Structure 1
Amino acid sequence: RELGPEKDLKPFGLEQPPLVVSFTAGGQSHTLNIGTKAPGGNSYYARRDQDPRVLIIPSSTRESLDRPLSDLRNRALFDFSPEQVRSLQVKTGAVPVVLEKKDGRWIWAGKEAVKIYPDRVDRLLRFMSLARVKEFVPDPPKDLKTIGLANPALELTVETEKGEQRLFLGFRKNNLCYARQGDQAPVVLMESLLLDLFTVPLESVADLRQNPLWENVHGAFPGYLEDRRLWTGEVKDVAGLTWGLPGKTWTAVKNEDFFKLTGPDKQELRQPAVRVEVALLKLRDLEAERRPSGKNETRADYLVELRGADAQPLFRLEELAVSSGQVKVRYAAGSESPLEALVPKQAFDKWRQEMEQIIMPPPAAHENGKKTEGKAKTGN
Structure 2
Amino acid sequence: MNFKTTLIILVVFVLLGGAYFFFGRPSPDTEQSKADQQKIREVYALSKDTIRQVRLSFKDESYQSLTFAKNTDDIWKLRKPFTADADPSKINEMLQDLLEKKVKQTIEAENLAQYGLQPPNIQIELWTEGETPAKVFLIGDRTVNYSVYTKERSESHIFLIESSALDDFTKSPSDLRDRNVFKFSSAEIRTLRLQIEGQSVIHCEKQVNSNPGGTADMDSWEMIQPVKTKADARAIEEIVSALGSLRVAVFEADGEYDPANYGLSQPRITATLQSTGKNPIQELQIGSDARTPGRIYVTRPDHRAVYTVNREIHTKLNRTVFDLRDKRVIDFQRTATHRFAIHQGDSKIICQKNVDGEWEITAPVTLKADEEAVDDLLFGVDALRAVAFVDDQPTSLQPYGLAAPSIEASFVVPSSEPTTLLVGKMKEDTVYVKAQNAAPVFLVKKSLLDLVGMGIAGLRSKQILDFDGDDATKVVLKHGDVNLTCQKQGTNWRLTQPVQEQTRTGAVPSILRQVNRLTVEAFLAVAPPITKTGFDVPEIQLAVTLKNRTEHLLQIGKRADQEHHYGRLQNAPDTVFLLKNETAESLKKTVDDLRATPDAN
TM-score, with structure 2 as normaliser: 0.39
- Name the CA distance, whole Å, in 2 between partners of 1:252 and 1:331: 21
Is 1:26 aligned to 2:140, yes or no? no
Paired position in structure 2 for 1:37: none
**Which of the numbers 266, 271, 279 marks the counterpart of 2:380?**
279
- The SS at the match of 1:90 is strand
- Give the 3 Å change call, closer, same or farther, for CA 274–294 of structure 1 in structure 2: closer
- Go from structure 1 to structure 2 and tell me whether the alpha carbon gap of 1:235 and 1:350 turns closer, same or farther (over 3 Å shift): same
RMSD over aligned CA atoms reads 5.1
Q: What stretches of structure 1 of length at least 5 have no aligned partner?
A: 1-5, 15-23, 34-46, 53-64, 203-219, 363-367
How many angstroms apart in 2 are the aligned matches of 1:125 and 1:85?
11
What is the percentage of aligned positions where both structures have the same residue?
12
Task: Tell me the residue number matched to 1:165.
Answer: 282
CA pair 50-197 structure 1, distance change in 2 beyond 3 A? closer
Does the CA-based 8 Å contact 2:192-2:203 persist in structure 1?
yes
After superposition, the Cα gap between the structure-2 partners of 1:102 and 1:309, relative to the gap in structure 1 and judged at 3 Å, is closer
**Which residue in 1 is equivalent to 2:305?**
185
Matched, 1:239 2:291: no
**8 A Cα contact 2:360 2:369, kept in partner:** yes
Matched residues in 2 for 1:276 and 1:175: separation? Answer: 44
Query: How big is the shift at 1:137?
Result: 5.0
Classify the secondary structure of the residue corresponding to 1:195.
helix
The equivalent position to 1:144 in structure 2, one of 256, 259, 262, is 259
**Counterpart residue identity of residue 329, structure 1:** V
Alignment partner, residue 206 of structure 1 = none
Q: Once the 2 structures are TM-superposed, how far is the Cα of residue 169 of structure 1 from its aligned partner?
A: 0.9
TM-score (structure 1 length as normaliser): 0.57
Residue 443 (structure 2) pairs with residue 349 (structure 1) = no
Match of 1:85 in 2: 189
CA distance in 1: counterparts of 2:354 and 2:377, whole angstroms: 10
Give the deviation of 1:117 after TM superposition: 1.8
User: 1:144/1:135 Cα in 2 relative to 1: closer, same or farther (>3 Å)?
Assistant: same
Which fold has the larger relative contact order, with Cα–Cα distance below 8 Å and residues 6 or more apart in sequence?
1
Aligned-residue offset at 1:110: 7.2
Q: How far is 1:355 from its partner?
A: 9.5
Match of 1:48 in 2: 100
2:176 & 2:379 partners in 1: Cα distance?
43
* Alignment: residue pair count: 298
Post-superposition offset of 1:313:
2.2
Q: Deviations over 1:147-187 (max 9, x none)?
A: 21233212222121222222121123555422233342341
Match of 1:19 in 2: none
Does structure 1 retain, via aligned residues, the 8 Å contact 2:340–2:412? yes
Contact 1:135 1:189 in 2 (8 A): yes
Change (3 A) 1:353 1:232: closer
Give the AA of the match of 2:231.
Y
- Matched with 1:208 is none
The DSSP-based 3-state class of the residue aligned with 1:196 is helix
Match of 2:409 among 294, 304, 307: 304
Contact 1:260 1:270 in 2 (8 A): yes
SS in 2 for 1:86: strand
Task: Go from structure 1 to structure 2 and tell me whether the alpha carbon gap of 1:349 and 1:269 turns closer, same or farther (over 3 Å shift).
Answer: closer
Deviation at 1:279, TM superposition (A): 2.8
Larger radius of gyration: 2
Of 231, 238, 248, the residue aligned with 1:117 is: 231
Whether 2:425 is the aligned partner of 1:316: answer no
Gaps spanning 5+ residues in structure 2: where? 1-30, 38-46, 52-91, 105-167, 210-219, 392-396, 463-509, 527-601
CA shift at 1:282, angstroms? Answer: 0.8
The answer to whether the 8 A contact 2:390-2:440 is kept is no
Kindly tell me: are residues 288 and 169 of structure 1, through their superposed partners in 2, closer, same or farther at Cα, counting changes over 3 Å? closer
- State the AA in 2 paired with 1:281: D
Cα distance 1:175–1:255, how it changes in 2: closer, same or farther (>3 A)? farther
